[in-house]
């Protein structure tokens, strides 16, 4: 399946997710999934509106205080997954927070050796 080219923050998020050791991109269910060793750490959809989900076992409670955050559907929320749907441009400070959360998500699903090496 060919997905549309990303721009803006979605493209930055993609580039950052793929910068981790052994990170790959897959396209299940018509959206992008960034995986390490076959396990997803970020889901990204940017077709109509920007939406992305990640596993945040340490700071998920903090992330859920944002007005545009919610527990991920399909039962993933009870396992620490949080979905973000920002409605406006993402500020520089918020971008950094999202990148920190991508790192947390990667470390949560990556094999211990890969997570330790970061």
Q: Phi then psi for 20, rounded to 5 degrees?
A: -80, 150
CATH at residue 46? 3.90.1150.30
**Count of the separate structural domains present in the chain:** 1
* Structural domain contains residue 1: no
* Structural domain contains residue 20: yes
* Structural domain contains residue 118: no
Cα distances from 73 to residues 6, 44, 96, in angstroms, run 24, 14, 25
CA distance 107 to 117: 10
* Structural domain contains residue 117: no
Cα–Cα nearest to 25, from 10, 43, 7, 52: 43
State the average pLDDT over residues 56-73: 95
pLDDT score for 34:
98
* Structural domain contains residue 105: yes
pLDDT score for 49:
87
* Structural domain contains residue 16: yes
C-beta separation of 23 from 35 below 8 A: yes
* Structural domain contains residue 27: yes
State the average pLDDT over residues 96-112: 96
pLDDT band (50, 70, 90) for residue 81: very high
* Structural domain contains residue 42: yes
CA distance 64 to 68: 8
Q: Phi then psi for 41, rounded to 5 degrees?
A: -125, -15
Residue-number span of the structural domain to which 56 is assigned: 8-109
């Amino acid at each position: 399946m060919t997905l549309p080219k990303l721009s803006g923050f979605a493209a930055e998020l993609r580039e950052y997710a793929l910068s981790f050791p052994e990170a790959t991109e897959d396209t299940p269910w018509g959206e992008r999934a960034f995986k390490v060793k076959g396990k997803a750490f970020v889901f990204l959809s940017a077709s109509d509106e920007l939406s992305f989900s990640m596993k945040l076992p340490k700071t998920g409670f903090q992330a859920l205080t944002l007005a545009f955050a919610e527990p991920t559907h399909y039962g993933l929320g009870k396992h620490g997954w949080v979905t973000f749907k920002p409605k406006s441009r993402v500020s520089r400070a918020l971008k950094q927070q999202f990148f920190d959360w991508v790192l947390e998500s990667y470390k949560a699903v990556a094999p211990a050796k890969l997570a330790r090496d970061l």
